Chain A
């Protein structure tokens, strides 16, 4: 009996002891779709399979073009919603949904990355990174993630680059890119090339000194940092005043650059100067409002083209040029085509280093330039229309540009580049001299919006031929701006949203005819992508209005009360397919 009692006691004790141990975490088995995750390689990034969308613009050249042809001009009217996924966040939803073998990776406001079964819309994992109270994040958005190896790279808002395990969403490493308290924050998608992950910075309204930084893809160790404002002794520093202006001169880099694998050069756009008024920093101020060519191996800036010397309009030229070979005078130019915020389209030549000017023409009403030197591409400002301290100056296009950061797309079959533009908006800007204080807004300009005299519309999706430099067609929006990135497909379609009516639409790539549209929950500010699973093509886009689009909409509503109502807030991912 004693033995039995002892045995029971031991058993109970053993149970009690084991019950006090923390339970081992129960690891749910990975879904098959993640278990069989296909790693992203350099070869795949250089030549992605048609069914996958591995980078925000699909390919390194920035075309936003897909070879998929299942959805056509004939059947696009049948498009229907495959699934919708709410992000739970407000503000502008600007990312491109990436898809790798059926797994979608997308970032959203709220500092989050979501992995989704791209066929069903079922969440696979979700990563959220807390934003510290009081963090400086003027635009709490993300323009997408990057994929490489077994990792997902995310530029989180409070200036921390994060590498996630693509299968689990767990952090692999983090790297603090800069001090958020000084006004540096992140909003662009990283770019992976040459074994590194590159990221640009936001903060051009906070007196930063912009840069692009590269990190080892495996360890997160910083490889190089290319400042967009040269320091003392570096070429270009002489374009700044002799004082400390270069230390706070702006030059943010908040949109991902495009990349030429043949030369290993990144083409990255550089934003506005700080403070806004150029007369406070006399000189050209390299490399603000420029495209810079960065050697991905070393971080050395080996070429540049400055669109707006001594920029004074808040014209961030952050949108990178598309790598397009085009015809000029019977010759093929290894080219760069940049649809600039300043209202001109620039045709440039890329080399192993320097960027050469070829030609430029306005694509909207432009009042700030008297002209452009046909040999060098240097603009000549009209002093009556260049903002300075203490004056109110009118200019077109407005301060957020004819085309903001939203990317244009290129279809090599039509030879057309498709441009989202708020073509007919202008600004009256009153320049002031702000004091620099670390962590405080460093701008110095009040903008009052106006509609260009005689304009019969505001926004456009416009198509221009890259070989002739001529406009082919325009789909006009009488009462809306256009903030939508563009997707082109080999089947002759152009997808984009961008308008205040919440529509996502398909246009005929050759004619601009409206073929299909569907309303979404909010305004579409995302970059559409397309992919295929089990032989079926899908089109994905994020809807969610905010930021500059909300600001301009409010000013338009003051100009024409009732015609520009507030656009509903809140974000979602929409995926469409044929029945």
Chain B
């Protein structure tokens, strides 16, 4: 009798851990994320196509700031690239973010130095936006990092291709 309860409890725990996805946790099936092409390209070349990305659970989250709104970021980057606006502060910000990400990564210092030079000299076109839709039902909740600055802003640092659908390449 006692063993049955123990087995039942273990099976319940196992089932919950297996199905505890971000979709279930947040009550949303999809996430939306806007990535500059260069970061995706670096991840493809140096991190085995494992992506670090923040996302929101709606395309246009009204309560997030502009910098955490995938639609606004997409529009902004698209315009920057279209007009080759190399002085735009968003381009500088992306160069800084990508450089910081690379600096703290596990890559060798030779690769880090080479990538820092690459990011610093990349043309505006390298920052063209790619819009992703994430399948949150495929991502276990333990991989979720809440950033906390805005209500609908989350991060996953180990996304793989099967969890991503490219909406706008």
Partners in one complex: no
